[in-house]
């Protein structure tokens, strides 16, 4: 799966079906990892993608990042915000690579700065 596949996968999950603290509960609700594993999708490639972009892991985003960095109040909001941010990073990086842009290292430094300092500006999650 690529980043847009993951975004679509998680967008399709109803907000009311998300939980924290467990893979699945008695009502059949899941966390992010639980959703992936319920359809036999290995979560390690997504974990690697998050790590590549210096993002918190799936469990942290799902359970521990309640409104941290303005990713959102619900697990679904937090997961999707992080994935959309990664998608933006990858699109920008691919664009600069395709142009053979000698400013690519500077571009990547700026993207890293934006991630560390201003995710709300990029994500538009807060005014």
Each domain of the chain, given as residue ranges in start order, spans: 3-123
**Hey, what are 53's tokens?**
């972009």
SS3 for 30? strand
pTM for the predicted model, two decimal places: 0.78
Provide the pLDDT for residue 125. 46
Contact 73, 80 (CB under 8 A): no
C-beta neighbour count of 86 within 10 angstroms: 20
CA 37/CA 43 separation, integer angstroms: 7
Higher local confidence (pLDDT), 63 or 100: 63
Distances in Å between the Cα of 99 and the Cα atoms of 87, 95, 104, 105, 106 are 18, 6, 9, 13, 14
**Hey, what are 113's tokens?**
């700065």
**Hey, what are 124's tokens?**
């538009």
Residues 97-116, mean pLDDT to the nearest whole number: 69
Residue 94 has pLDDT above 90, yes or no: no
Could you tell me what percentage of the chain is helix, strand and coil, using 3-state DSSP and rounding each to the nearest 5? 65, 0, 35
């Amino acid at each position: 799966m690529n980043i847009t596949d993951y975004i679509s996968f998680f967008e399709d999950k109803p907000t009311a079906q998300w939980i924290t603290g467990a893979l699945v509960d008695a009502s059949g609700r899941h966390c992010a990892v639980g959703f992936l594993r319920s359809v036999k999708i290995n979560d390690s490639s997504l974990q690697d993608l998050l790590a590549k972009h210096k993002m918190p892991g799936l469990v942290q985003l799902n359970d521990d990042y309640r409104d941290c960095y303005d990713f959102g109040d619900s697990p679904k909001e937090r997961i999707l915000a992080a994935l959309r941010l990664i998608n933006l990073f990858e699109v920008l990086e691919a664009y600069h690579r395709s142009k053979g842009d000698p400013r690519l290292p500077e571009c990547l430094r700026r993207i890293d700065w934006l991630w560390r300092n201003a995710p709300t500006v990029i994500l538009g999650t807060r005014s």
